[in-house]
Structure 1
């Protein structure tokens, strides 16, 4: 994705099913679980680089001994920083005789991350602060293990304000910051309620006080706690957590917006945001990895019992389509196939844009994440050309005109030409990121291959998606214009992004979407600027309705124009300024129909269609328009 877009987060959970001594004997290290956690996080590094956090929970610790721990960091390369520091601490303790690395019991007793439950989180912040205190996991401590709670997740709650108001009405004092804090406190409230009820019941039975914690731990119904907590949640989420007694849970939103997969064998139960990291880290096949069913919660108790139950009624599945387009690692077999299909689906539009003249066209891609879709585009173009050649040969054969000269002209000419036109300069990219405000250097982030594009060529470049268009206008098109083609075509494997996201991606301001700006520009050119205020007033009225009755009024901004008209206006808006080039720019977007045809199963497409799957989405899009019209910045769903 050429536009800088922060998105989502990554979660990883490792729950050991054997004592640490087992892993020492079999694998030669008591840190087998911690190593697996690191690998799961490393394989999901693409999902978050603002900061990381890791947590550990130890089972059955003696009274007086700590049992739950966490580390968090927002340093550069924080993943390596935290794990290197932990390994150094472990080795230092071993050298000083503070623990015995060959004795699992010693490691569990004395090393913080010698726990059976290990959790990790990679953060891309979409709200709140960007410091160590905003990194997951969040921890709610108590001197009762069954009231101590650690939570982390990949999520956004669209109705965090409503949830905070509910807490206030109970008499609580929530600290407004992030919806992560809101989720932690909501689960914590119901955990406290369940704990208190059990305590009174067990105490009233005359059971000795020292035995009460064990009885509470055995009787605690964590699934019921989670179900009560999630009743009013509106958003996309994959959330995991651990209670101090060693019970843990992993849950996924009812519509499957955020992804979550898991792996089980006799040594470990592991969860992650993506399937492929589990396949790689545990050397498992695709069939060994299961997807956590949306609307369910998996509980692993302190004694190792595992169960999965539904906490929400079944809903229509709307998994985030950007997972398929861009976010998830491309080595997942289904993701790889679908991205190739998305590239191939652009063939007809690409052929039209270059008037079918392959001899005068050069094909490439930008950035590197678009490479898989590019292979699909090239396969599709070659198939198109093969079918074209076959038709011409059959026609010539029927007319008796087939000869060597024709074979040369038909078969050996006019085939798609693939070139590596651009290459990112990593050192320059790092330098610019460290020197804020150096906008004049942005156009040098990429190097180009000079001489491969001729002045009468059409240069076709494939991108994952086009969100803001800023990078295209200020950087990429300026760079590509140096190759001096007669026309530059930028193809997006994603359709036009017209509406904000509110389920975990940092796309919340309408005014930053190039497709939205193009529609507004067309209205102004057509003398229909009055519709902008009409929609503003309609959005205000919409937010006064009961939440289940709201509709997306922003669709009216686009309804007067075809997708082709908006694309043509986008092409004008992103034309580079201040360049010594007068060629043509054309922007091509994937059609929504072809997106659905490329992706296997259901996919959430609200970014493109405005059909939000939850009431909170409808509130968000109308609020986002109000913010844009009033000149306000920030998320439209912080109410």
Structure 2
């Protein structure tokens, strides 16, 4: 999962860098892996006078990549930013985004999502377009598809119609999930969202004496925090072009059969204070807690002996609180979190993940000793984290440890931008609920019902008829995923997981800070 942002200021003498830097900090949760892993990365590119580009990017969290000197060097009133962990390609510095091509017109590009036809696009780039792809990243592929489409105009300077036509062709060429921001040096910024709307993209504006500033970002929290208002979602299949001078053009370029945003955004990835596609993440998680309470009641029946409900921090807190209120069972904070250790399910290597669970959480015996505890988490992926947390609860003196998941069993890999493991690594794959409980060491496991999860989110925007729920039901909305594709994907992910155990800095000599004059 990645976070993207783009900004263009009305005052062309002002600096876009401070807002871009703040935006990446607000999106860090979408690109954070952890202190022991080199996988997370961040980058900013700005466009200054006469179309000169200024860039800084690298592996690490936002606070690690940028310092005051580097930020002062990012000159210009428009720019784009990116935070990432890799879902296609490796973790090398050469794959940190934004990406850049000098021809045509000087284009920079940042992408959240994952393409499902990357292999055939590589062949096209090599044999037909004759464009060199320098990395294994599908984001670089997307950039070069767009650049190649614009190149075909043959014009000295392009206009909005040329850009819309190039993006429309891009939609016809690529498949998968992609929310993207791009910048044409000295011209303006662009927002693109895939026809299914799998990944989010939101636009807002901010009034100042010179006119309106405009911003695109993955989540509304960025716009809220930076004072942007009147924000709205970029529609599936829509493109937005904002030029220097403040002209905004929006156009629906392609319409898919269904609008299917990823439901896992609401379960886990998005910040709870964000609103995406008209749905408050906070309200959706409250609703998930209510539905999960009903599922717990059905599962336990008359044998309900839960003394306390304890969330696994942080994303499950809201749901756990609502569940406890509906069940009329006391809610307690039983785990203390070290906020300087990152997420675990996307960390490389089982041993690393196990160690980091203990570094990340500490169980307070005061809340566990002698009690039957219901732990509530957003989901169970590999089961490694859940198993360690359950053991921590037992070590703290819990008599029984039950485990409730706000999400249904995750049995299939994600192909749309979430770097989940292979089927064989998913604890719920080919296991029933009782077997999952045995595997992670719980006395009982309760999973959310898929229909209940969908309704928990959809109730806040009935216009959305369906969501991407492929990790639960194996229904891939792009319609191009078969067993052969899955086997190839898992082979790549197995190889990647081996390579990610060591720090990879195989940059091919391209600088991570540069300027370019168009």
TM category (shorter chain) comes to 0.7 to 0.9
Any conservation in 2 of the 1:354–1:458 contact (CA below 8 Å)? no
- Over 3 Å counting, the alpha-carbon distance change for 1:622 and 1:374 in structure 2 is farther
| Residues 280-299 of structure 1: CA deviation (Å, up to 9, x unaligned) | 21164xxx210001101111
* 2:27 matched residue in structure 1: 44
- Higher RCO by CA contacts (8 Å cutoff, separation 6 or greater): 2
Establish whether residue 57 from structure 1 lines up as the match of residue 47 from structure 2.
yes
Distance apart, 1:113 and its partner CA: 2.8
Q: How does 1:276-291 map to 2 (within 5 A)?
A: 276-282=221-227, 284=229, 288-291=230-233
* 2:485 matched residue in structure 1: 623
- Cα distance in 1, alignment partners of residues 191 and 146 from structure 2: 13
Establish whether residue 261 from structure 1 lines up as the match of residue 202 from structure 2.
yes
| SS class of match (1:242) | strand
Any conservation in 1 of the 2:7–2:189 contact (CA below 8 Å)? no
- Over 3 Å counting, the alpha-carbon distance change for 1:313 and 1:354 in structure 2 is closer
Distance apart, 1:222 and its partner CA: 1.2
- Cα distance in 2, alignment partners of residues 148 and 134 from structure 1: 18
- Cα distance in 2, alignment partners of residues 190 and 626 from structure 1: 29
Number of residue-to-residue matches in the alignment:
471
- Over 3 Å counting, the alpha-carbon distance change for 1:12 and 1:624 in structure 2 is same
- Over 3 Å counting, the alpha-carbon distance change for 1:283 and 1:375 in structure 2 is farther
| SS class of match (1:289) | strand
Larger Rg: 1
Distance apart, 1:45 and its partner CA: 1.1
Gaps of at least 5 residues in structure 2 are 33-39, 459-463, 497-518
Distance apart, 1:469 and its partner CA: 0.6
Higher normalized helix content (fraction of residues):
1
- Cα distance in 2, alignment partners of residues 84 and 442 from structure 1: 31
- Cα distance in 2, alignment partners of residues 155 and 428 from structure 1: 25
Any conservation in 2 of the 1:571–1:586 contact (CA below 8 Å)? yes
Establish whether residue 589 from structure 1 lines up as the match of residue 447 from structure 2.
yes
* 1:183 matched residue in structure 2: 142
| SS class of match (2:111) | strand
Any conservation in 2 of the 1:353–1:489 contact (CA below 8 Å)? no
- Cα distance in 1, alignment partners of residues 362 and 390 from structure 2: 12
Any conservation in 2 of the 1:117–1:246 contact (CA below 8 Å)? no
Q: 4+ runs of 1 displaced by more than 6 Å?
A: 427-430, 433-436
* 1:536 matched residue in structure 2: none
Let me know the Cα RMSD of the aligned residues.
Answer: 2.9
| Residues 420-474 of structure 1: CA deviation (Å, up to 9, x unaligned) | 22223457889xx99995688456333222243454x42100000001112222x
* TM-score (normalizing by structure 2): 0.83
Of 78-87 and 322-331, the range deviating more from structure 2? 78-87
| Residues 321-345 of structure 1: CA deviation (Å, up to 9, x unaligned) | 0111111111136110110110111
- Cα distance in 2, alignment partners of residues 627 and 69 from structure 1: 35
| Residues 182-215 of structure 1: CA deviation (Å, up to 9, x unaligned) | 1121111122211x2x3xxxxxxxxxxxxxx4xx
| Residues 579-603 of structure 1: CA deviation (Å, up to 9, x unaligned) | xxxxx62111100111012012332
Distance apart, 1:301 and its partner CA: 3.1
Gaps of at least 5 residues in structure 1 are 1-7, 21-29, 91-111, 199-212, 383-415, 519-565, 576-583
Any conservation in 2 of the 1:423–1:447 contact (CA below 8 Å)? yes
* TM-score (normalizing by structure 1): 0.68
Q: How does 1:338-353 map to 2 (within 5 A)?
A: 338-352=284-298
Q: How does 1:212-611 map to 2 (within 5 A)?
A: 213=156, 216-217=157-158, 221-265=162-206, 266-282=211-227, 284=229, 288-332=230-274, 334-352=280-298, 361-382=307-328, 416-425=329-338, 441=355, 444-445=358-359, 446-453=361-368, 455=370, 457-473=371-387, 475-518=388-431, 566-575=432-441, 585-600=443-458, 601=464, 602-611=466-475
Distance apart, 1:235 and its partner CA: 0.7
Any conservation in 2 of the 1:54–1:121 contact (CA below 8 Å)? yes
- Over 3 Å counting, the alpha-carbon distance change for 1:634 and 1:586 in structure 2 is farther
| Residues 91-146 of structure 1: CA deviation (Å, up to 9, x unaligned) | xxxxxxxxxxxxxxxxxxxxx5332211111111112121221111111114xxx5
- Cα distance in 2, alignment partners of residues 261 and 438 from structure 1: 35
- Cα distance in 2, alignment partners of residues 359 and 346 from structure 1: 17
| Residues 4-55 of structure 1: CA deviation (Å, up to 9, x unaligned) | xxxx1001111112332xxxxxxxxx43x32222222211111113010101
Higher normalized strand content (fraction of residues):
2
| Residues 515-541 of structure 1: CA deviation (Å, up to 9, x unaligned) | 1142xxxxxxxxxxxxxxxxxxxxxxx
Establish whether residue 129 from structure 1 lines up as the match of residue 90 from structure 2.
yes
